[in-house]
Amino acid sequence: MSTTFQLDTSTSRATPTPKPRKRLTVPKIRDHKKDGQTKEPLVMLTAYTARQAQLLDTYCDILLVGDSLGQVIYGLDSTLPVTVDMMIAHGAAVVRGSYHGVVIVDMPFGSYEGSKEQAFETASRIMAETGCAAVKLEGGQAMAETISFLTNRGIPVMAHVGLTPQAVNVLGGYAARGRSQQEHDKILGDGKAVQDAGAFSVVAEGVLEPIAIALTKSLEIPVIGIGASAQCDGQVLVTEDMLGMFERVPRFVKKYDDIAGMIDRTVAQYAEEVRARKFPTADQTYHPKS
């Protein structure tokens, strides 16, 4: 994060002044993996707001506006009720708040599966109204024709295989994938299918580590792991999970802090001071000029 700030006179809020850095591009992300090898893994986190994007952008190669915002921001039970309008609103905010990372926006359930033409209509609207660099969609071989259709029309696509949350009702839950030989073969086949269709990268979620390693070695495009393996070409997590905003998180999440605990302590102190009339003090109130 930048250590210098500029004052927004309309809101009286100080916001970080971006350091002069050139924004990464989709080709740069794709070319991060050369001859099947990635020297330095890609860093990817979810972002849903402009302020969050400001704080994450310095450290991330990719900012994902994930449909996980359904649960994280809106308190929904799954990602299924998330709408295109919701994704556009948050996607535009993240683009405004970032200047370095590649911003990718999830295409929500029901907005692209019907036909490749439906997918293009949704994706083109998302890109036009947010300014993002690419879209992400779930599915392997079943979505290969759609991925090809989009990429041939100027829309970069990140694919998503393995555990696909939008298919939770078909999968029967959020358990790790790849425990059977059939699933093992499907994940590898899905990865090759989306690569051949033109995807510039693929997320591998919730798969057994040997499969994640095999997938990473077999593809020329970067494989971004989540609940997969450190040997993937990059990693992604839901930011609120890794910061400790929730007491319960998936097994594959490492909590790097306890932001929920910090908020609890801070709000408790605020409530105590308000009730004791200790806040506001003279430093936080306005006085007549003498």
List the binding residues for Mg(2+): 67, 106, 138
Q: Which of 113, 205, 220, 240 is catalytic?
A: 205
**Strand runs (DSSP E) across the chain, as ranges?**
5-8, 13-16, 42-46, 62-65, 102-106, 134-136, 157-162, 201-205, 223-226, 234-237
Please state, in angstroms and rounded to a whole number, the distance separating the CA atoms of residues 199 and 193: 9
| Alpha helix segments (H runs only) across 58-130 | 69-72, 84-97, 116-130
**Which residue ranges are tagged as binding site for 3-methyl-2-oxobutanoate?**
67-68, 106, 136
Peptide bond into 16 cis (omega under 30): no
- What is the 8-class DSSP label of residue 2? -
Question: At residue 145, what is the residue type?
Answer: E
**Which residue ranges are tagged as binding site?**
67-68, 106, 136, 138
205 annotated active-site:
yes
Cα→Cα distances 283→12, 208, 287, Å: 17, 56, 10
The residues annotated with a catalytic role in the active site are 205
